[in-house]
Structure 1
Amino acid sequence: MKRAAVIGIAIAGAIVVVGGGLAWWALSRGQSAEDAANSYLAALADGDLATITAMRAPLPERQQEILEEAFLGASAYLADPRVEGLDEQPDGVVDVRASAELAGERRDLRFGIEADGSGWILSGDDTGTLSVDVATADGAALGWVTVGGAVVPATTPVALLPAEYVVAAAPVDFLEGSADVAIGTGTPVSISLTAALAPGASDRAQEQVDAYADACAQPATSAPSHCGIVVPWAADLASLERISFRIEQYPAVTLAADARSFDATGGVLVATAQGTTRDGAAASFTYRADDWALRGTVALEGDRVVLSVH
Structure 2
Amino acid sequence: MKRKTTVGIVVGAFVLAAVGGVVVWSLSSRAPSAEEAADTYLRALSDGDAEAVRSLLEIEPENFAQIESAFSSADAYLGDYTFEVFEDSSVRAEVDFDGEPAVVGFGLSEGADGFRVTSDYLATLEATTTLGDSVTIGSTIFSTSEAAHLLPALYTVGAAPAELFSGDAAVVVTNENPVRVAVEASLSAEGIALIASQLDDYARACAEPGATVPENCGLRVPWAADLAALSAITFRIDQLPVLAVADDLASFAATDGIIVATAIGTTRDGASASFTYRADDWALRGVIELTNGRMALRVI
TM-score by length of 1: 0.83
Partner of 2:167: 177
Partner of 1:110: 105
Report the alpha carbon displacement of residue 195 of structure 1 after superposing the two structures with TM. 1.5
Report the alpha carbon displacement of residue 47 of structure 1 after superposing the two structures with TM. 0.7
Partner of 2:118: 123
Report the alpha carbon displacement of residue 221 of structure 1 after superposing the two structures with TM. 2.0
Cα RMSD for the two superposed structures: 2.1
Report the alpha carbon displacement of residue 30 of structure 1 after superposing the two structures with TM. 3.2
Deviations 1:101-157 (A, max 9, x none): 114222222112122211321021111101012115xxxxx2111134420111411
Partner of 1:69: 69
Deviations 1:163-208 (A, max 9, x none): 0000111111212221100011221011222221111122121122
- Quick check: 2:133–2:293 contact (8 Å CA) kept in 1? no
Task: Return the letter of the residue paired with 1:216.
Answer: C
Partner of 1:256: 246
Aligned residues: 278
Partner of 2:6: none
Task: For 1:257 and 1:28, locate their aligned partners in 2 and report how far apart those are by CA, in whole Å.
Answer: 64
- Quick check: 1:217–1:246 contact (8 Å CA) kept in 2? yes
Task: Return the letter of the residue paired with 2:38.
Answer: A
Partner of 1:165: 155
- Structure 2 unpaired stretches of 5+: 1-20
Partner of 1:29: 30
* Shift in alpha-carbon separation, 1:281–1:50, aligned structure 2, 3 A: same
- Structure 1 unpaired stretches of 5+: 1-18, 137-141
- Quick check: 2:161–2:293 contact (8 Å CA) kept in 1? yes
Which secondary structure state, in structure 1, belongs to the residue aligned with residue 219 of structure 2? coil
Task: Return the letter of the residue paired with 1:101.
Answer: D
* Shift in alpha-carbon separation, 1:27–1:219, aligned structure 2, 3 A: same
Structure number, greater radius of gyration: 2
- Quick check: 1:175–1:201 contact (8 Å CA) kept in 2? yes
Task: For 1:33 and 1:133, locate their aligned partners in 2 and report how far apart those are by CA, in whole Å.
Answer: 38
Task: For 1:243 and 1:28, locate their aligned partners in 2 and report how far apart those are by CA, in whole Å.
Answer: 80
- Quick check: 2:237–2:260 contact (8 Å CA) kept in 1? yes
Report the alpha carbon displacement of residue 230 of structure 1 after superposing the two structures with TM. 0.8
Partner of 1:38: 39
Task: Return the letter of the residue paired with 1:53.
Answer: R
Report the alpha carbon displacement of residue 28 of structure 1 after superposing the two structures with TM. 5.1
